[in-house]
Amino acid sequence: MTEPVLSVRGVVKRYGGNTVLDGVSLDVREHEVVTVIGSSGSGKSTLLRCVNLLEELDDGQVLLDGVDVSDPRVNADLARRGMGIVFQAFNLFPHMSVLDNVTLAPRVVHAVPRGEAERNALDLLERVGLADRAGSYPEQLSGGQQQRVAIARALAYSPRLLLLDEITSALDPELVGEVLALVRELAEAGRTILMATHEMGFARQVADRVVFLDGGRLVESGPPDQVLGEPVHPRTRQFLRRIIDAGRL
Amino acid sequence: MTSELQRERLAYKRSRSRRSTLVALLSTAVFAVAVGVTIARAPGWPRVRQSFFNVEIAWRSLPAILEGLWLNLRVLVVCGALILVLALGVATLRTLRSPVWFPLRALATVYVDLFRGLPLIILLYLVGFGLPALRLTGVPNDFVVLGGVALVLAYTAYVAEVFRAGIESIHPSQVAAARSLGLGPRQTMRLVVLPQAVRRVMPALLNDFVALQKDCGLISVLGAVDAVRAAQIEQARSFNFTPYVVAGLLFVLLAVPTARFADALGRRVERRQGGR
Ligand SMILES: Nc1ncnc2c1ncn2[C@@H]1O[C@H](COP(=O)(O)OP(=O)(O)OP(=O)(O)O)[C@@H](O)[C@H]1O
Ligand SMILES: [Mg+2]
């Protein structure tokens, strides 16, 4: 059995006295798409930020390709180069054009010449349907368009692991389908993806595995049909019933 | 193709705006005449005009004052550039978190606290008269240079705080986004935080620039022959205050372009970020 791309082991994260992650363990293997579900405030974003080393862990480890990157002796900037993250709220750089947003990391972190970086960026923007907006500034784009630029930006340096934090929560249904297709395409191209989402239909269609986060713990994990169709844990059932009642499954 | 309705509406809007312009012109004219008549009929006016607005003396003192103003302008440009660079450095030092930088960070904090609180006039005396009195080798004895040093010391402290406020106003998510792309702390500061911070504090910076324009006139207390000093010399010669008014008006004229520039800058940012 090969080493998983990402291995989260007993991660604990507290904010003040509030324990948001309480010993979370999770593996993501190569080419695998894992979705994290859970109610609002359950710690999905926090988990992704911990994996991306944007938060300091209070306990546990994050391993990338078997290397413990949560070790304070490891250079977090280098470790992050293997990961791309798209945030829940759009975090494009408002003072840069769409094209500059996408080419920034390749140019300054990976030393790709500008011409080549821009050609790649335009290809990526084409794929997310925004090639004609390359010269626009983020504020001139709709929320959905901004999010697609953010995805293109995260893909621009071919990260080994893609972290997606509710990337569809601000998109209208038409665009959700488009982004869904994009994510599926990425999965088929061999990407390894860990994503948080509120969209159960999305999780069901795209994920190889679904994990349910509740009160800072992973209470259930398995194939989407099992976790979403025949959940065993009472908390999962309760959560899914609420979602079904809200008409979102 | 515009509809009949829209054409009619546009015509109405145009006639309204013509009417507004006319009303504004008329009311301004009436107001100006009323103020003019009131002032001209005031009992002290001839004396005021004689000692503040004497055209002949104004004309005679203008060359000397302009020459002085040229010195002010040169001081302004050199000091302005130095202040920008140094203030950015001090502000960046104050936002560094790594323990290696602790001594520099502490030094920057002490510097800002000290020079922001010190009255500029005291600083000018200390630097302008105090430093040369020490007779140390390498200390310049040119009052213009010494005055400039005092201005730079004082304004760097102010402007550093403006920059720091700008840096701290950038949402942490911007830093997170930059770091997640693999940018190091310095790249994040230079490429993501500072450009946004500078844009955000531009109005405050321009405001400080206007203040600096005026305070450049303070080097006259050291004896440098700038516009203020030149006016003082002319005033002593003619026993008339008109030279001061001339110098004052020139400083005001100098501040106007900065204000217009600030407006234009604001409009440009608006157009680029909010426009279609
Ligand atoms: N920087 C912070 N300081 C203090 N508390 C925080 C911080 N970030 C998150 N939290 C808390 O941690 C908990 C989990 O937040 P998180 O954003 O991970 O939830 P989430 O599962 O992503 O929710 P949502 O579905 O609404 O995005 C929340 O109770 C939140 O208030
Ligand atoms: Mg979240």
Q: Which residues of B touch A77 (CB under 8 A)?
A: 179, 182-184
pLDDT of residue B78: 96
Name which residue sits closest to atom 31 of ligand 1, judged by CA.
Answer: A41
In whole angstroms, give the CA distance from residue A25 to residue A27: 7
Model confidence over A126-157: pLDDT tens digits?
A: 988 888 999 999 988 887 788 889 989 998 88
Model confidence over B32-91: pLDDT tens digits?
A: 999 989 888 888 888 888 888 888 888 888 899 999 999 999 999 999 999 999 999 999
pLDDT-based confidence at B276, cuts 50/70/90? very low
Q: Report whether pLDDT(B270) > 70.
A: no
Q: Note whether A77 contacts B183, CB cutoff 8 Å.
A: yes
Burial, A40: exposed, middle or buried (Cβ in 10 Å; 0-12, 13-18, 19+)?
exposed
Q: What is the DSSP string of B37-80?
A: HHHHHSTTHHHHHHHH--HHHHHHHHHHHHHHHHHHHHHHHHHH
Residue limits of CATH 3.40.50.300 in chain A: 1-82+162-249
pLDDT of residue A245: 81
Which tokens is B272 given? 């680029």
Question: Between B181, B196, B276, which is nearest A94 by CB?
Answer: B196
Model confidence over B104-146: pLDDT tens digits?
A: 999 999 999 999 999 999 999 999 888 888 878 777 878 899 9
Model confidence over B75-86: pLDDT tens digits?
A: 999 999 999 999
- Of ligand 1's atoms, which has the minimum distance to the CA of residue A16? 4
pLDDT of residue A108: 92
pLDDT-based confidence at B1, cuts 50/70/90? low
Chain B residues with a Cβ under 8 Å from any Cβ in chain A: 173-174, 176-184, 187, 191-192, 195-196, 199, 272-276
8 A C-beta contact, residue B93 and residue B101:
yes
Ligand 1 pocket list (CB less than 6 A): A 15, 20, 38, 40-46, 88, 166
- Can you state the angle between helices B102-117 and B55-95, rounded to 10 degrees? 150
Does residue B240 sit in helix, strand or coil? coil
Q: Which residues of B touch A89 (CB under 8 A)?
A: 173
Selecting from 1.10.3720.10, 3.40.50.720, 1.10.357.10, 3.40.800.20, what CATH number does the domain B55-273 have?
1.10.3720.10
pLDDT of residue B32: 92
Q: Note whether B180 contacts A83, CB cutoff 8 Å.
A: yes
Q: ipTM of this model?
A: 0.84
pLDDT of residue B259: 81
Q: What is the DSSP string of B210-237?
A: HHHHHHGGGGGGGT--SHHHHHHHHHHH
Q: Report whether pLDDT(B199) > 80.
A: yes
Task: Tell how far CA B122 is from the center of its chain.
Answer: 21
Residues having C-beta closer than 5 Å to ion ligand 2: A 45, 88
Q: Which of residues 145-174 of A touch B (CB under 8 A)?
A: 153-154, 157
Q: Report whether pLDDT(B269) > 70.
A: no
What superfamily does domain A1-82+162-249 belong to in CATH?
Answer: P-loop containing nucleotide triphosphate hydrolases (3.40.50.300)
Q: Name the closest ligand to CA A50.
A: 1
Average pLDDT over residues B211-238: 88
d(CA A159, ligand 1 centre) in Å = 25
The alpha carbon of residue B262 is apart from the nearest alpha carbon of chain A, in Å, by 18
Q: Which residues of A touch B199 (CB under 8 A)?
A: 95
Q: Report whether pLDDT(B189) > 60.
A: yes
Q: Hey, where are the domains in chain B?
A: 4-41, 55-273
A83-86 sheet: strands from edge to edge: A83-86, A161-165, A192-196, A33-37, A209-214, A217-222
pLDDT of residue B174: 92
Average pLDDT over residues B234-251: 89
8 A C-beta contact, residue A48 and residue A194:
yes
Q: Name the closest ligand to CA A22.
A: 1
- State the DSSP code for B190: I
Give the CA angle between residues A23, A24, A29 to the nearest 5°. 145
Q: Which of A13, A24, A44 is the best mutation target for the ligand 1 pocket, counting ligand atoms within 8 Å of the beta carbon and taking the most?
A: A44
Q: Note whether B195 contacts A95, CB cutoff 8 Å.
A: yes
Name which residue sits closest to atom 27 of ligand 1, judged by CA.
Answer: A40
pLDDT of residue B275: 39
Reference B112, options B51, B170, B155, B53; nearest CA is B155
Q: What is the DSSP string of chain A?
A: -PPPSEEEEEEEEEETTEEEEEEEEEEE-TT-EEEEE--TTSSHHHHHHHHTTSS--SEEEEEETTEETTSTTS-HHHHHTTEEEE-SS----TTS-HHHHHHHHHHHTS---HHHHHHHHHHHHHHTT-GGGTTS-GGGS-HHHHHHHHHHHHHTT--SEEEEESTTTTS-HHHHHHHHHHHHHHHHTT-EEEEE-S-HHHHHHH-SEEEEEETTEEEEEE-HIIIIIS--SHHHHHHHHHHHHTT--
Q: Which residues of A touch B196 (CB under 8 A)?
A: 93-95
Global pTM? Answer: 0.79
